């Protein structure tokens, strides 16, 4: 591994390509995820915004951890879902509020709900938001 300006060089985990206008594609382990902006913001609304993908990452992570908890304890997973919304604000622009609701499947006993919430609340994305990482952005 080499370094450029103090940043270790390694194979990227995600590669972003510009697809014209405000459209971008993210290549991740052979998967393609698209991002765009709404028409009102100058885009073509062909895909979610990067911010919506960020919120979706949090909600999906919560769902993933919840499903793993339920499966580990032989509890039902049918009907498990997560919904989320967010508010933007501040200077610089940022997500100021996340609301994530975990819909518990029918048949999960009351005594398992608090541990389920605790497990879902410790997902990787939530942990990252609570303990922000160092972020390097460099020109190459």
Q: Are residues 123 and 55 in the same domain?
A: yes
Is there a domain that residue 41 lies in?
Answer: yes
Q: What residues pair up with 113 in beta bridges, in sequence order?
A: none
Q: Are residues 110 and 61 in the same domain?
A: yes
Nearest to 26 by CA among 12, 40, 37: 12
Q: What is the reported pLDDT for 75?
A: 98
Q: What is the reported pLDDT for 3?
A: 57
Is there a domain that residue 75 lies in?
Answer: yes
What angle in degrees, to the nearest 10, is found between the helix axes of 50-72 and 110-120?
Answer: 140
Q: How far apart are CA 9 and CA 75, in angstroms?
A: 44
pLDDT tens, residue by residue, 80-123: 999 999 999 999 999 999 999 999 999 999 999 999 999 999 99
CB 127 within 8 A of CB 58: no
> Which residue range(s) make up the domain with 99?
49-133
Domain count across the chain: 2
Report pTM. 0.90
pLDDT tens, residue by residue, 8-55: 678 999 999 999 999 999 999 999 999 999 999 999 999 999 999 999
């Amino acid at each position: 591994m080499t370094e450029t300006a103090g940043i270790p060089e390694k194979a990227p985990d995600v590669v972003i390509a510009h697809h014209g206008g405000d459209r971008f594609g993210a290549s991740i382990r052979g998967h393609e995820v698209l991002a765009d902006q709404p028409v009102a913001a100058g885009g073509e609304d062909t895909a979610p915004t990067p911010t919506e993908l960020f919120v979706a990452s949090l909600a999906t992570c919560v769902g993933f951890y919840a499903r793993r908890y339920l499966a580990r304890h032989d509890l039902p997973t049918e009907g498990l879902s997560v919904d989320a919304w967010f508010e933007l604000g501040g200077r610089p622009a940022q997500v100021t509020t996340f609301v994530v609701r975990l819909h518990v499947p029918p048949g999960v006993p009351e005594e398992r709900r608090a541990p389920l919430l605790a497990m879902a609340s410790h997902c990787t994305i939530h942990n990252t938001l609570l303990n922000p990482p160092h972020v390097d952005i460099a020109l190459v």
